Structure 1
């Protein structure tokens, strides 16, 4: 279920602020978005997988908190990130 290391490295390289950056808010949101998309596809097939559904809800909540933080701290980076990831803004 988890992202493989090649996908993860590609996402980190695309959204990193500088070389070796794996923990910035932008990278974390991008990784969570990829994981959420993967779990959503899984739940379309396995509709009764309630434990995965709970995990999905936790990931969505975590992404929401990180996006709120980024919006507060660096609005330019936030707006760039949501356009690249095709996320909606409230």
Structure 2
């Protein structure tokens, strides 16, 4: 993985409740967004890497389910997270 332990802790500190909060939907969505951006850049160079493409599609679906959960649970957190991560619906 391209993220170091410190980079992950920064993501969790920014979007979660603390730098060790790995379970909250906000921190998981932020981590998935970072990974999705990395894989998207990889696929721009390696167009025929179908296993990575499959993993990317699964990751996007997982992030979508987490976003739907967060939207149902707390709409304000959802809106703030969407705005901060610049994710479009």
Structure 1 residue ranges (4+ consecutive) displaced by more than 4 angstroms after TM superposition:
none
- TM (norm. structure 2) is 0.93
Distance, in Å, in 2 between the alignment partners of 1:45 and 1:26 is: 30
Q: Which structure is higher in RCO with an 8 Å CA cutoff and minimum separation 6? A: 1
Structure 2, gaps ≥5 residues long = none
Structure 1, gaps ≥5 residues long = none
In structure 2, what is the equivalent of residue 10 of structure 1?
A: 10
Question: 1:12 Cα shift?
Answer: 0.6
Q: CA RMSD in A?
A: 1.3
The 1:46/1:72 distance shift into structure 2, 3 A limit, reads same
Matched positions, count? 89
In structure 2, what is the equivalent of residue 76 of structure 1?
A: 76
Deviations 1:2-51 (A, max 9, x none): 42222211101101124632110000000000000000000011111000
- TM (norm. structure 1) is 0.92
